[in-house]
Structure 1
């Protein structure tokens, strides 16, 4: 069986969203919260995992990340709502 790739969405302490890609969601969230993740999340800790989606192909996970990052805030909220994520808490 092949490796699984994930697209994930975090909610940062300042209320912004961060989309990323990884092969291990739990480890990646811990890395973000340790201040060693992305430059964007380093100053917006703690972060909370809102959503993760598994893909069998790396390209598909990276594509999902790219599309999420290039949406407006309203479109990101609509995406999360459509996936039954309560992002407002």
Structure 2
């Protein structure tokens, strides 16, 4: 299975990504092993995730969510 996920980062920002192994990927983010956006904004908290059948579906969901407003992302996280 593949996953699309949203992290809440220090400073109130959101990070959206996709992965084949969600627990492993979150561990990488939490440890700062992935250089870039999240490593500069630790700590992070997983606030939303969804499982998909294929990598393409997960990637398409990631791209779609990245284009959304903060308000729309927050509604998704709340389940609205």
Greater helix content? 2
Same fold (TM over 0.5): yes
Q: Once superposed, what is the RMSD of the aligned Cα atoms?
A: 1.3
Return the index of the structure with the highest Cα Rg.
1
Q: 1:56-77: per-residue Cα shift (whole Å, max 9, x none)? A: 1111100110111111111111
Which deviates more, 5-14 or 73-82?
73-82
Correspondence for 1:47 among 41, 44, 47: 44
TM-superposition CA deviations, 1:9-51 (whole Å, max 9, x none):
1111211111110011111111011112251101100111111
TM-score (norm 2): 0.90
Question: What TM-score do you get using the length of structure 1 for normalisation?
Answer: 0.82
**Consecutive aligned runs of 4 or more in structure 1 exceeding 3 Å deviation:** none
Equivalent pairs, count: 80
- Aligned equivalents of 1:76, 1:38: Cα separation in 2: 24
Unpaired runs of 5+ in structure 2? none
Residue 73 (str. 1) matches residue 70 (str. 2): yes
